[in-house]
Copies of this chain bind each other. A is one copy, B any other.
Amino acid sequence: MATNTTKTGQPFDRDVLDSLLRRTGFYMPSFEIYGGEKGLFDYGPPLTALQSNFVDLWRKHFVLKEKMLEVDTTIITPEPVFVTSGHVAKFADFMSKDPKTGEIFRTDHLIKQVLAARLKADQDARGKTIEVEKPDEPQKKKKIKDVKIEKLDDAVAQEYNETLAKLDNYDGHGFNQLINKFQIKGPTSGADLDPPKPFNLMFQTYIGPSADKPNGYLRPETAQGQFLNFQKLLEFNKQKMPFASASIGKSFRNEISPRQGLLRVREFLVAEIEHYVDPEAGKKHDRFQLLKDTKLTLLNRHTQLAGSEKTEVMTVGDAVENKVIDNETLGYFIVRIQDFLLKLGIDHSKLRFRQHMANEMAHYAADCWDAELYGSYGWIECVGCADRSAYDLTVHMNKTGAPLVVRENLPEPRKFQEYQIDLNKKKLGPKFRKDAKAVESAVESLSQDLREKLSLELKNSGKITVDIPSVGNGKTELDKDLISIEQREVTQHVREYTPNVIEPSFGIGRILYHLLEHSFWTRQSAESSDEPSARNVLSIPPLIAPIKVLIVPLSNHADFKPFLRQLTSTLDDLDVANSIDDSSASIGKRYSRNDELGTPFGVTVDFQTVKDKTITLRERDSTKQVRASQEDICHAIEALVRGRETWEQVSKRLPEFTSQEVD
């Protein structure tokens, strides 16, 4: 079990980190001077740079290395797309309104909060203290009215615990029963709540000047844009399978009551991969052997069903062999995700992969493993790795008639008996008009078993009824003028199939926030110093640190200026992000300010520089320094930042320097 301590073993204090992040401009509530808007945050310069370095690294690690086809599709999406994908019907949370105060709560969160608070009060009453989740900010101020320090019946406490464990299973009706049974009231007013209502989490909008009601949405994921282009992408890939598309872009969720700072926001950047694979080939992956010995920390579905959170460490090879992880492709991506997170600087001991239980999977998923990161909010899903099966491509193909399939030449032709359907298209078109394509596509996707049954029915009654959810009342009647079904011998030269999709999906903001938690620690400095005795440090790896080098002149002396100009220009030319701090603060203070910003290196220009053109190079985590010529130092920095050399290597090969930093 990961514990909530910093990398140096100090107790982690979220308030200290949060105040650092706000004070140094990592992030700020959006529209703060207008009073702010819940669930929307702006990234200031350090976090914007960190985010763009993340995107750059992600592109190299996944898109370039794996030759993925990156696309940039639109955020604005017309309604029919999300009707087909199921988001209009199913991408919703339940909300409860307090009719007295007008407050709106996310129903599951409210029930969870109240029951957890009662259980906590029960424990307090029994004289036990248990660690409960740190409350989110909004709760700090609000008191939950009905909670007294009160012992519960053992049976009631058990029922609460059981309810909490399966809260994901309930629908609106179920939630309402819980609210009545457990007498859950408006937390500030104590009033009876309105019955829970579903609230669709997609932002609505109006496309074009003639829309008189919302006719589009802001996408909640980039995936649909990728699926709709599947045919074009397969063609771009010269019809070769398997392959992957990828997309990095803003997505949106109109959260009912956003909380947890940067973790649950209404607008967020995601990076998503859709890897298309032949389901009949067992979802093998041809580079799986290269990484099969990589160890993973796994929390599988069975363990969770047994009420435990105990993880197991095993190699991905074993996990796939023992069917803990379903197939090689899923396993391959889980390892690649882990490699990426570790390269980024995520603490390995605070990373686990948790399998979704059947009831918590999104409506499209067949299996799903989350990379969860541990921090002050507990274990949080940061990367999903879902097997979406053939769900999306199938529904879009059925709706539009576009052939979102792979056609593969067979090495040898296959002969077999098959029920074939012939439609009278001259009559079909006029009869079904805009639905004709959907009818055609639905009929053509009927299974052989069903065709056999229907061919009998057609012979007997002269007509058949087919389920087509998107047409009319869902039941479409076709008579023998329109359709015939006959068994024939077929010779197949080409195999046609709908690929399955493995989808690694990265919530970039959540990962960055955890990276900041994992990077944060406090340095105790020497007592003699005039600086604050505890200094905060963000040990962000050089590879993705927002600014790589701080250039610091010893003082404002005019002799230093040409060196500053030359250094910044040399580093610019090497594509090394740098900044100059020529303020009047002491060198120690200036370095300390930059330790907070995660800047891994500092160079100092002093009077020795004017004499012999040497400069010092300081490393953030150790505060050790070396001294060498400008050229040597700049090249050392480039090597450090590109990951070609470590600080240990550099500090061995260049002469140590000890005197100048006033610390």
Contacts from A to B (Cβ < 8 Å): 24-25, 28, 30-34, 37-38, 40-45, 47-49, 51-52, 56, 59-60, 64-65, 67, 69-78, 80-81, 95, 102, 104, 199, 203-210, 216, 218, 225, 228-229, 231-233, 235-236, 238, 249-250, 252, 254, 256-257, 266-267, 396, 400, 402, 404, 572, 575, 577, 579-581, 583
**15 contacting pairs across A/B (C-beta < 8 A):** A25-B235, A33-B396, A37-B207, A42-B225, A43-B71, A43-B72, A44-B233, A45-B70, A49-B70, A65-B572, A74-B267, A76-B266, A104-B209, A205-B218, A206-B254
Find the B residue at minimum CB distance from A22: B232
Find the B residue at minimum CB distance from A236: B25
> A238 to B56, alpha carbons, bound, how many Å?
29
Tell whether, in the assembled complex, residue A70 and residue B42 are in contact, meaning their CB atoms are under 8 Å apart: no
Tell whether, in the assembled complex, residue A236 and residue B45 are in contact, meaning their CB atoms are under 8 Å apart: yes
> A396 to B75, alpha carbons, bound, how many Å?
28
Q: Which residues of B contact A30 (CB under 8 A)?
A: 73-74, 225, 228
CB proximity of A38 to chain B, nearest CB, Å: 7
> A583 to B216, alpha carbons, bound, how many Å?
41
Given B31, B77, B95, B396, which contacts A78 in the complex, CB threshold below 8 Å? B31
Find the B residue at minimum CB distance from A400: B33
Tell whether, in the assembled complex, residue A95 and residue B266 are in contact, meaning their CB atoms are under 8 Å apart: no
Name the residue in A73, A210, A572, A581 with the highest tally of chain B Cβ atoms < 10 Å from its Cβ. Answer: A73
Tell whether, in the assembled complex, residue A256 and residue B33 are in contact, meaning their CB atoms are under 8 Å apart: no
> A31 to B229, alpha carbons, bound, how many Å?
8
Number of this chain's copies in the assembly equals 2
> A203 to B216, alpha carbons, bound, how many Å?
10
By Cβ-Cβ distance, the 3 closest A-B pairs, closest first, are A33-B402, A43-B72, A42-B73
Given B34, B64, B203, B228, which contacts A33 in the complex, CB threshold below 8 Å? B228
Tell whether, in the assembled complex, residue B34 and residue A400 are in contact, meaning their CB atoms are under 8 Å apart: yes
Find the B residue at minimum CB distance from A569: B65
Q: Which residues of B contact A31 (CB under 8 A)?
A: 77-78, 81, 228
Find the B residue at minimum CB distance from A106: B209
> A238 to B404, alpha carbons, bound, how many Å?
55
> A51 to B72, alpha carbons, bound, how many Å?
9
Tell whether, in the assembled complex, residue A575 and residue B60 are in contact, meaning their CB atoms are under 8 Å apart: yes
> A630 to B235, alpha carbons, bound, how many Å?
31
> A67 to B60, alpha carbons, bound, how many Å?
25
> A232 to B42, alpha carbons, bound, how many Å?
11
Name the residue in A40, A60, A257 with the highest tally of chain B Cβ atoms < 10 Å from its Cβ. Answer: A40
